[in-house]
Amino acid sequence: MFKDLNPILHSQLRLAIVSLLVAEGTVDFSRIKEVTNATAGNISVQIKKLQEANYISVEKTFKNNYPNTRVKLTGKGLSEFEAYVEALKRYIDLS
């Protein structure tokens, strides 16, 4: 029944990260941590999965001599998110 729900976005944390990017645009790692309350390690793993799927782009720089990771949604990521939301709407309409 849920076969058309994108498995990459169906993960709670990955969906939260992508939703945050849709709402706020480019965000840094600390903002993702603040909003999701997830551990740094878990966020890193999920960012890597989203990056490998080409849903996000990642820029690593330094800010005040500290590593700074900034994440941005790609066009593909936005399209996949919109398709995921539409699929959820279809399930809601079934009830």
Report the pLDDT averaged over residues 32-54. Answer: 97
Instruction: Spell out where 4-65 has E strands.
Output: 27-28, 56-63
Read off the CATH number of the domain in which 42 is found. Answer: 1.10.10.10
Global pTM? 0.90
Distance CA 38, CA 92 (A): 28
Identify whether 6 is part of a domain: no
Report the pLDDT averaged over residues 20-31. Answer: 96
Q: How many domains does the chain have?
A: 1
pLDDT higher than 60, residue 89: yes
Identify whether 65 is part of a domain: yes
